[in-house]
Amino acid sequence: MSLDTATGLNSLGLPKPPAETRVVVAMSGGVDSSVVAAMLAEEGYDVVGVTLQLYDHGAALAKKGACCAGRDIHDARRVAEARGFPHYVLDYENTFREAVIDEFAESYLAGATPVPCIRCNERVKFRDLLETAKDLEADCMATGHYIRREAGPAGPELHMAADGARDQSYFLFSTTREQLEYLRFPLGGLASKDETRALAARYGLPVADKPDSQDICFVPNGDYAAVIEKLRPGAAEPGEIVHADGRVLGEHPGVIHFTIGQRRGLGIGGLSEPLYVVKLDVERRRVIVGPKEMLATRRVPVREVNWLGDGAFAGAEAREISVRVRSTRPPSEAILRPLSETEAEVELLSPEEGVSPGQACVFYETGGTRVLGGGWIWRGR
């Protein structure tokens, strides 16, 4: 593949032939990043595959449904060998523990519901790995994420993936403008995951039928509490389950076993009304429960804002946008009120249930696909 005659750019938007363009591909060992690497190699780019060893893969070899384990490193290497490009494995265990796992544990112990995959993208893949790509003299770094990078009048913009079911914009809101200049997401425009698997089959990749990863990589079977107890022995102290009206309804084995909005597994059956976890009082080791309507929230305090919209964030007028307060929910209309360079208040036009500290609040252009940034939900002052 050669340069576009009209623009003088290659398919990655760079002004030189593919053969002279070095691309580091972040390879997790799954089908998505493997297809990206094979696609770019076939187009004639100078591809270098890099896989991060993020945690003790010896303990994770038998674990299915997670990325970056020992088996995945092996799969990434096989793809690189089959397609004829170099592949490196970087030991990022210490970095990953310090930047992601430790904060996950502390956040959970504080009664929040963290999203470690966002921190991993922000602090490991798009920071340290990106710097490694530059050290390798790469012109850009490509990943298998389902999100689009589009040219805008003020520079590259972040947009939701063409396939709404695969869109990963919630997990990438903290990507900075500077990082966006360097990153590429070749799968963002595909209509479905079926297209990705068809490409994998066409390239003859050994991972073409490999299942998608489901769990957080260091949380086997989604059992957060078991991981926290292993990381912080003795953290699960028992306490009381208390109704919002003050009645003590029972005991619990530890606040870390509960999340905001939880209904099942409370251990307080036989009551006339269904009850939900509405608050976690970590200091008093209390799980507060109440009726579903108590979960409805309009005001969402947000901090550590990363702004990708036009103009400065701080000092701007309140603006109408759409937001996602959970990765599994569609964007809903809201009003964004900046309070400083990094803090804001979001007012949801329709109350949402289960808005939890530790989750992300991601900003979108109402009626469009552009990602305007986002921040982290906290309890406020």
Task: Report pLDDT for 78.
Answer: 94
- Residue 30 assigned ligand-binding role: yes
Dihedral angle, C-alpha 98, 103, 106, 111, nearest 10 °: -170
- Residue 183 assigned ligand-binding role: no
Q: Which one of the listed residues 117, 120, 140, 361 is annotated catalytic?
A: 120
| Residue 120 bears catalytic tag | yes
- Residue 33 assigned ligand-binding role: yes
pLDDT tens figures, 279-322: 999 889 999 999 999 999 999 999 999 999 998 898 778 999 99
Domain 18-220 coded CATH 3.40.50.620: yes
Sign of CA dihedral 300, 302, 306, 308: positive
Q: Which residues make beta-bridge pairs with 26?
A: 50
DSSP letter string, 292-361: GGGGEEEEEEEEEEEE-SSS-STTPPPEEEEEESSTTS--EEEEEEE-SSS-EEEEEEEEEE---TTSEE
**DSSP 8-class letter at 363:** E
| Residue 140 bears catalytic tag | no
Q: Looking at the domain covering 236-290, what would its CATH class be?
A: mainly beta
pLDDT tens figures, 8-41: 899 999 999 999 999 999 999 999 999 999 999 9
Is the pTM above the cut of 0.85?
yes
Q: Which one of the listed residues 68, 117, 140, 217 is annotated catalytic?
A: 217
- Residue 380 assigned ligand-binding role: no
- Residue 294 assigned ligand-binding role: no
pLDDT tens figures, 171-228: 999 999 999 999 999 999 999 999 999 999 999 998 988 888 766 888 867 788 888 8
| Annotation: CATH topology of 297-377 | Elongation Factor Tu (Ef-tu); domain 3 (2.40.30)
List the domain boundaries for the chain.
18-220, 236-290, 297-377
- Residue 344 assigned ligand-binding role: no
